[in-house]
Amino acid sequence: MEFWKDADEAKNTILKFQQEVLKDAELSGAMQKLNQLIVYDYSESGAGCKVWMNSRDGKLDCGIGEPPGEPDLVLSLTADDGHRAWSNKLNAVVAITRKKIRIKGSATGLLKLVPKQKRTAEIYNKVLTDLGMTDKIIK
């Protein structure tokens, strides 16, 4: 892995980031409108983890490991490409086209969140700063 010292660092950072996204009114509102269970599968990259976000049935939560049900969408990517995407340095549409992100399910809902990437990157960089990882912020 290029950006992470080990799998625990990657998954704990990504989970903390997802928790912060759920606290943001703009992003949590957009997630609720999706009404989906989305899994980000980083297991092929050496990070060995899955992080999920659930906005089904009025719920809004996230976690690590197996999701609480059959996901509507699974995105498989490396933890490093996840880092680039959350940093707004990897365009999701281009990454899907180039197979850097492989999808299982319909990404239509997720593509509605693409305009929110700048706000997502702001939260992600704040999480990195709060965790003392400013060296990981991509300029």
Q: pTM of this prediction? A: 0.89
- CATH code of residue 45: 3.30.1050.10
Residue 99 belongs to what domain range?
A: 7-128
Which residues 6+ apart lie within 8 Å of 3 measured at CB? 10, 79, 80, 83, 136
The pLDDT tens digits for 33-85 are 889 999 999 876 666 788 999 999 888 999 999 999 999 999 999 989 999 99
Judge whether 1 lies within some domain.
no
Residue 55: inside a domain: yes
69 lies in a domain?
yes
Looking at the domain assignment, is residue 46 inside a domain?
yes
